[in-house]
Amino acid sequence: MASVEQSPGGASRKAGIQTWLKRIFVRLGILPFLIVIAVIVFTAMSDNFLTGRNLMNILRQSVYLTIVSLGQMLTLLTGGFDLSVGTIVALSSVVGAVVMASVYSAMPDAVYLAIALGFFAGVLAGSLIGVVNAAGVAFFNVSPFMMSLGMASVGFGIALYLTGGVPVYGLPIEFSDVFGFGNFLGIPSPIWIAGLIVVALWVYLYKTPQGRHFYAVGGNIKAAKLSGINVRGTLFQAYVLCAALAATAGMLLTARLDTGDANIGASMPLESIAACVIAGVALRGGVGRLENVVLGALFIGLVQNGMNLARIESYLQTVMLGGLLILAVIADQIRLRYVASLKD
Amino acid sequence: MPAPLLATRAITKDYPGVRALDRVDFDLREGEVHVLFGENGAGKSTLISMLSGANRPTSGHIEFKGTVAELNSVHHARELGISAVFQEFSLVPQLTVEQNLFLGAEHRGGLFLKASGMRREAKQLLDDLDFHIDPKAQVYRLSRAEQQMVEIAKAFRSELSVLILDEPTASLTDHEADQLFRLIEDLTGRGVGIIYITHRIAEIERIADRITVLRDGRYVTTIEASDADEDRLVELMTGREVGAIFPSLPTMDPGEEILRLEDLWTQDETLCGVNMSIRRGEIVGCAGLVGSGKSEALQAAFGALPFSSGTVIYKGERVAQPKPGRSIRSGFMYLPADRHDAGLMLERPARENFSVAALDLPPFRNGLFLSGRGERQRAAELATALNLSPNQPERTLDHFSGGNQQKVMLGRSLTRPVDLAVFDEPTVGVDMGTRQAIYAFIANLAQKGAAVVIVSSDLPEILHLTHRAYIFYRGRIQAELAGSDLTEEAALANFFEQDAA
């Protein structure tokens, strides 16, 4: 008997590691595995990858996607999604730039007034797209897919119409100096702003009742309603906040580019959904952590940066990104199967 | 003695971190009805999932007609003649009955479907079973019972030798259940072995030949049905002696009126002029057939269902348009019948499912913010008070058994001050032990001075647990029975049309 019990020692250790990995996978999803693999691969492919400077670069480049993904996460949590985030980025950039440039040219002395008005106008314009999305989803029960797809077209059309398809120039140099290339304590200003947003949203999501309501509505909309939660108000907030965050990213991107452009943000819907899904946010709603979404967005930034350093052609990068998204969804399905097999 | 029709030998199923089934021996003879009995989470579902080919054992094996059988898939099991009918049907609602019957095994001539042949055969199949269902009807138009018949008919597509039924009568009326029992009799006469899962003692007494009891994934015993009575079964199932299922009712005099409904109507006439009055300290029952309006009346008062005319008076004040949020804040809690559909967030922790309706109050809230500590503490208290098993409030709810999920949902009525609690079908799909706990819980709530309404299709629940009951029939209250008038005969008599004149 004893020998029978002892002999599978090696095998059981292997099985132990396997169940351990499986548990990590079930708990945290596929992201930790992907990050480890990506870091190993890119470090091997390029000497410049794992340097402090490059890591800071990745952080700075990922800021825009991170902010948009946080918004996207809110809509995903409630069981929907927003395909119009790209349009919102574009529209806020164009409207913000037009307002800023015209105020600046009318009153060249009031630089900061121009910046403030422009920034505000851009965020407001983007948020209005969110208000329309929100109204459709929350009050008319339009599916988020149709609503945000429709608004993506509407917003993009408006952005092009406003500018005739031409980039908007003439922004005060201070705008891009502060919000695009600024530095504080050695850390680029966009990172500070993203950091502030992350902290504020974390507090909102996890420390206030309203934050919990996002999870409840996505977890079971009927149960949420019967528990006295304002379901429509919660859906409304999700889409408006999502748009406001995307618009903020749009203004930061405008500062970085020093132009208002209707053609930025086209990849945002795919990338932001990818960042969330890779981070374990469930497309069904109700599941997902903000910390992980930040990591998810950073991971996509990391992959893009790594592929650039490894001189992978940009067209192929697009292929990679789509592949990663699908891989993440498949992994989520496998995870669900494991979860299902965990219960009786 | 001949080899059993189907048997398991030391069958074990491990899931990561859990042993769902531990070396279970089970055997099924030809022509018998073998009941599997046990609490939710005892391993019944795991066992039948392996017998039906949906899952494979970690160790041990299955024997079919005396030889070891590897059941690789449901399809494979079905080919051998082992079919299972689960509580959740495997029917495509948009397809017709005949399309569903042949789903995955369509008759074809070359590339194309042979519709006429399938139609003939479908009709034959339904006729043989004496099911009066139109083969061309779309499945979503059928009643629950009819859908179940289609599901059973599906099992007959191939030569049937083992039929597994998982709580088949849960959604059937008595008449439909009788029909099912006749069918079972007919089948056993032909030598088919039936594995039957149920929580209902009456059914066991009626159809079972033998009963195998499982507890915590282990085999307890197998007894002849003739040796079984309720006390013995419950004792075997829970592993301890269980007192009476129903608690004694609180006997205080009813206090002030808390809810009054006057002439309540809905647009679609689910309710046609309902009048009700509920007072503090009493437990009121609402009984009636499905669709009689017994559950809708309270939903309307709570704000979950719009009504077109009538008056709702709550705590002496007229509420023109009840809303769930406002109702809850003023102490009116409604806990829905279908916990999966409308009650719980299955992918969230038990803790969040407890607190969801009370986030506006301490201890869950601290000023503007949530109190993580207060919430965790209260959830832990509730989990202990309700005997949640496993006692892990951070576990997501889909990792709890049905009975424990139900406890979590009902536990919501303890998260905030409640003056009126409505429990809609509080014990559906819940085992005996949990049921007893839930009844004690409800009685206790009334004892503390809340008004309690129990909406239930389970007549014993109404008879033993309420002071007074309204019997609904087609959107009206047909009778109000209290005290010694509240008997099974009186209640049943009012379930149906009263005066034919």
- Which stretch of A113-127, B7-21, B337-351 has the lowest confidence by average pLDDT? B7-21
- Measured CA to CA in angstroms, residue A102 lies from A98, A111, A115, A121, A185 at distances of 6, 11, 11, 12, 33
Same domain, yes or no, for B253 and B370? no
Q: Are residue B90 and residue B15 in the same domain, yes or no? A: yes
With a cut of 90, say whether residue A69 has pLDDT above it. yes
pLDDT band at B233 (very low <50, low <70, confident <90, very high): confident
pLDDT band, residue B125 (cuts 50/70/90): confident
Residue B357 and residue A228: Cβ atoms within 8 Å? yes
Same domain for B106 and B219, yes or no, is yes
- Tell me whether residue B386 is in a domain: yes
DSSP state of B70: -
Average pLDDT (A25-31) is 80
In a domain, B442, yes or no: no
- Asked if A130 contacts A74 with a C-beta cutoff of 8 angstroms, the reply is no
Neighboring chain A residues of B22 at a CB cutoff of 8 Å: none
In a mutational test of the A interface, the residue from B47, B296, B348 whose CB has the highest number of chain A CBs within 10 Å is B348
Instruction: Determine, for residues A226 and B342 on separate chains, whether the beta-carbon distance falls below 8 Å.
Output: yes
Of A206, A284, A344, the CB nearest to B41: A344
Q: Flag if B325 and A230 touch (Cβ within 8 Å).
A: yes
pLDDT band at A344 (very low <50, low <70, confident <90, very high): very low
- Is the pLDDT at B451 greater than 70? The verdict is yes
Confidence at A9, pLDDT banded by 50, 70, 90? low
Which CATH fold topology does A30-336 show? Answer: ABC transporter involved in vitamin B12 uptake, BtuC (1.10.3470)
Q: What is the CATH number of the domain that holds B10?
A: 3.40.50.300
- DSSP annotation of B168: T
Q: Minimal Cα–Cα distance from B387 to chain A, Å?
A: 19
Interface test with A, best of B356, B361, B365, B423 (most A CBs within 10 A): B356
Residue B463 and residue B318 share a domain: yes
Quick one: pLDDT at residue A147? 95
Residues B183 and B282 in one domain: no
Report DSSP state, residue B246.
Answer: S
The verdict on residue B436 lying in a domain is no
Q: Which of A213, A222, A340 sits opposite B341 (nearest CB)?
A: A222
What's the pLDDT tens digit per position in B380-408?
Answer: 999 999 888 888 999 888 888 888 899 99
Q: Cβ of A341 and B401 within 8 Å?
A: no
On whether both B341 and B324 belong to a single domain, the answer is: no
pTM: 0.78
For B361, nearest residue in chain A (alpha carbons): A209
Nearest residue to B158 (alpha-carbon basis) of B184, B189, B110, B121: B121
Edge-to-edge strand ranges of the sheet holding B468-473? B332-335, B420-424, B451-455, B283-288, B468-473, B476-482
- Contact list, A332 vs chain B (CB under 8 Å): none
> What is the band of B155 on the pLDDT scale with cuts at 50, 70, 90?
confident
Out of A182-186, B100-104, B353-357, which region has the weakest mean confidence (pLDDT)? B100-104
Residue A264 has pLDDT above 70, yes or no: yes
A3 touches chain B (CB under 8 A): no
Has residue B305 got a pLDDT over 70? yes
- Taking only the tens place, the pLDDT of each residue in B41-93 is 788 888 998 998 888 888 898 999 888 888 888 888 888 889 888 877 778 88
- B501 with B362, same domain: the answer is no
Considering only alpha carbons, which residue of chain B is nearest residue A231?
B325
Last residue of a domain, one of B210, B238, B266: B238
From chain A, pick out residues whose CB is under 8 angstroms from the CB of B400.
Answer: 343
Q: What is the mean pLDDT of residues B294-319?
A: 93
- Residues in B whose CB is inside 8 Å of some CB of A read 15-18, 20, 41, 43, 45-46, 302, 304, 324-329, 334, 336, 341-348, 352, 356-357, 359-360, 364-365, 368-370, 372, 398-401, 412
What whole-number distance in Å separates Cα of residue B494 and Cα of residue B498?
7
Peptide bond into A167 cis (omega under 30): no
Mean pLDDT of all residues belonging to chain A: 89
Nearest CA in chain B to A228: B325
Query: Are B46 and A26 inside 8 Å of each other by CB?
Result: no
**B79 and B200 co-located in one domain:** yes
Closest to B15 (Cβ–Cβ): which among A212, A216, A342?
A342
Q: What is the pLDDT of residues A82-107, one digit of tens each?
A: 999 999 999 999 999 999 999 999 99
Among the candidates B204, B238, B272, a domain finishes at B238
Between chains, do B324 and A23 touch, taking CB under 8 Å as contact? no
Q: How many Å apart are CA B212 and CA B250, to the nearest integer?
A: 37
Q: Name the residue among B15, B336, B359 with its Cβ closest to that of A341.
A: B15
pLDDT digits (tens, 9 = 90+) for A302-327: 999 999 888 888 888 889 888 888 88
pLDDT of B501 higher than 50: no
Instruction: Tell me, yes or no, whether B232 and B249 share the same domain.
Output: no
Say whether both B212 and B189 belong to one domain.
yes
Examine the fold and report which residue of B183, B213, B238 is the final residue of a domain before the chain moves on.
B238
Do B327 and B468 sit in the same domain of this protein?
A: yes
The nearest CA of chain A is from the CA of B399 a distance in Å of: 5
Does residue B269 register a pLDDT over 60? yes
Closest-CA distance, B81 to chain A, in angstroms, reads 25
**Across the interface, which of B325, B369, B401 has its CB nearest the CB of A228?**
B325
Beta-carbon separation of A215 and B346 below 8 A:
no
**pLDDT over 80 (residue B144):** no
Q: Is the ipTM of this complex over 0.90?
A: no
Chain B residue numbers with beta carbons less than 8 Å from the beta carbon of A341 are 15-16
Would you place residue A343 in the very low, low, confident or very high pLDDT band (cuts 50, 70, 90)? very low
Contact B412 A227 (CB under 8 A): yes
pLDDT at A3: 41
What residue has token string 């599906």? B154
Whether the pLDDT of residue A128 is over 90: the answer is yes
Helix axes B432-447, B230-238, angle to 10 degrees: 100
Task: Give percent of chain A above pLDDT 70.
Answer: 95
Residue B410 sits in which domain range?
336-416
Q: Report yes or no: A4 at the B interface, CB cutoff 8 Å.
A: no
Chain A residues in contact with B359 (beta carbon < 8 A): 209, 212-213
Give me the mean pLDDT over the B12-18 stretch: 75
- Please say if the pLDDT value at position B298 is more than 80: yes
User: A with B: how many residue pairs have Cβ under 8 Å apart?
Assistant: 107
Helix (H) or strand (E) holding A344: none
Which residues in chain A have their CB less than 8 angstroms from residue B325's CB? 228-230
* The pLDDT of residue A5 is above 60: no
Domains identified in chain B, total number:
3
Per-residue model confidence (pLDDT) at position A146: 94
Say if CB A292 and CB A27 are below 8 A apart. Answer: no
Domain segments of chain A: what residues?
A: 30-336
Average pLDDT over residues B315-330: 93
* Cβ atoms < 10 Å from Cβ of A330: 11
Which residue in A has a C-alpha nearest to residue B353's C-alpha?
A: A216
CB B200 within 8 A of CB B167: no
pLDDT score recorded for residue B131: 78
User: What's the whole-number mean pLDDT along residues A182-198?
Assistant: 93
User: Does any domain span residue B440?
Assistant: no
- Asked if pLDDT for residue B12 goes beyond 70, the answer is yes
The answer as to whether B87 is a domain residue is yes
Instruction: Give the minimum alpha-carbon distance from A207 to chain B in angstroms, rounded to a whole number.
Output: 5
pLDDT number for residue A1: 37
Specify whether B327 is located in the same domain as B348: no
What's the whole-number mean pLDDT along residues A46-58? 89
Q: Do A209 and B359 touch (CB under 8 A)?
A: yes
- Of residues A209, A338, A342, nearest to B18 (C-beta): A342
For residues B455-475, average pLDDT: 89
- Give the pLDDT score at B215: 85
Which is nearest to A303 in space by CA: A281, A325, A332, A283? A325
Query: Confidence class of residue A150 from pLDDT cuts 50, 70 and 90?
Result: very high
Q: Look over chain B and give the mean of its residue pLDDT values, rounded to a whole number.
A: 86
Residue of A12, A212, A226, A339 best to disrupt the B interface, most CBs of B under 10 A: A226
- Give A175→chain B minimum CA distance, Å: 35
Does A212 contact B359 at a Cβ distance shorter than 8 Å?
yes
Query: What span, in angstroms and rounded, lies between the C-alpha atoms of A62 and A1?
Result: 59
Confidence of residue A7 (pLDDT cuts 50, 70, 90): very low
